[in-house]
Chain A
């Protein structure tokens, strides 16, 4: 089973829930692996006291100009729909950050002068602690496109841990990186808080998941602050509320220090039990 933990709004507790949930499940003997797909700002590793056991460069394929047989016909510039190729009087210039790796320029070039070559966009790190494995994608600074790295991180986990349960920690927002982190999962948990911001962004996230035909449930975090807008919304839209995690400064403190919470705070562990019971009822 693959479960994505996402949210429209940032800072609602995705990483807190995914890292604690994975750790707790592992402590109960479950074969489970955590994938941090927030590749722009991955920070699950900060909470897991884990050791780096393996790393892999993540590349995207980009065309590289080979002048030998090039006739400067300009076909490559013409077929590139992303303005990633510039046809100059005596040169073909490639802008790697604009390239979507569609291969059109390379394969339609009459002289094979633009072979596709790997170009680094980030790194995939595998960590291990005494209980379980965590894999993160980490985008190189200045790289704009995170999708290929998210896809490769998912692939890495699938290949290395085929028969494990997978928990994906998604990036915030509702655009393409979130979609890539959610579309192949069996279920998406949306974490929100009971404020107008939380509700606004939850609504956007729900609409996005509906476009993907994804099954969803909601966790309300920092419950007790704010209003009942989120609860009413979930009720009206028939979205299950999986658990409500109490607003608790102690939780925030443990989090601030990079510590796991479920082994220290009882009500937090109760919430995880509710999540596990809910997941157990899926299928």
Chain B
């Protein structure tokens, strides 16, 4: 079983449309995994049926019992997150600011503070339109620990892939370079970087590529909207060359890309004969070959 992780640094480059296309093309050879847990939307393109739901618990927050609290203020003094405020007769915790460090509850002289485990989100296992299985999640509103939820989603997807003897796990990552992205990358056999021909696309590509380098990951790249700005496309290609990163495809700016999203279809299903779809199919075959060689 090999895991392919699609990330982009910058948001809105077409990462989810491409990963959903790969997932569609892989048919039942893959388990699909949406790790963009705080704005998950891959399920829309693949008709996920939310078959199995499980709660995801992670992190704690402090809760002060007003009956026991003597209003001494020790908790207020030690909290580094400004999560505790003083009311007339007792202190209260702001659940959004609380990091769950436990410090206040440890030093409370009258044991008025309890640490309560938080539900941080939902994990779903779904059937999708091509008969494959997809693992996805929804982060709780205002919840933290998206990195841990990403790890959980990946773990469930990998276990399923091993159990059902699948060839691939196809993972849609999140934008950025921080904790959810780092969690998405763990254990990847191949990283597909999706960028676009804009100054921001190039800037963000460089940062996210540098991040993958620190983990020694095998990386390939797809340039989206390449004809929006040929000069930038040229710069991206030069950059990839200088880093020995294989360019899988340069896709043109095509309204079909958005139209496909509007009817909840991956582009390769929406119009399988258009130029972009042809290139995505070639890219998918390339990805499979690269994974065979490595």
Contact = CB atoms under 8 A, between A and B. Distances in A.
Interface string A249-283: 10011011110000000000000000000000000
A8 B16 CA distance: 14
Given A10-B10, A46-B199, A212-B142, A108 B39 contact: no
B229 A257 contact: yes
A100 B99 contact: yes
Given A104-B106, A197-B16, A141 B262 contact: no
Interface string B65-109: 000000000000010110000000000000010011111001100
B228 A256 contact: yes
Given A253-B228, A255-B198, A144 B9 contact: no
A41 B16 contact: no
Contact of A102 (B80, B174, B207): B80
A173 B203 CA distance: 19
- Which 4 A-B pairs give the minimum distances between C-beta atoms? A11-B12, A10-B11, A102-B101, A40-B176
A46 B211 CA distance: 21
Interface in A1-29: 8-12, 15
Given A200-B41, A249-B253, A257-B229, A176 B203 contact: no
B266 interface: no
A110 interface: no
Given A196-B261, A201-B39, A225-B258, A256 B60 contact: no
Given A15-B200, A108-B103, 6 more contacts: A10-B8, A107-B78, A142-B182, A174-B38, A175-B38, A210-B141
Interface residues of B, number: 66
Interface in A171-197: 171-179, 183, 195-197
Interface string A133-144: 000000101111
A205 B264 CA distance: 20
A158 interface: no
Contacts of A38: 176
A257 B60 contact: no
Interface of A: 8-12, 15, 38, 40-41, 43, 46-47, 79, 81-82, 100-104, 107-108, 139, 141-146, 171-179, 183, 195-197, 200-201, 204-205, 207-208, 210-212, 222, 225-227, 249, 252-253, 255-258
B172 interface: no
Contacts of B131: none
Contact of A41 (B44, B147, B175, B261): B175
A226 B264 CA distance: 11
B232 interface: yes
Contacts of A177: 176, 178
A197 B15 CA distance: 12
Contacts of A146: 178-179
Given A9-B12, A102-B99, A108-B106, A204 B38 contact: yes
Contact of A79 (B103, B141, B180, B203): B103
9 contacts: A10-B12, A79-B102, A81-B101, A81-B102, A173-B175, A201-B41, A207-B141, A208-B141, A225-B258
B177 interface: yes
Nearest to B120: A175
A175 B103 contact: no
A107 B78 CA distance: 9
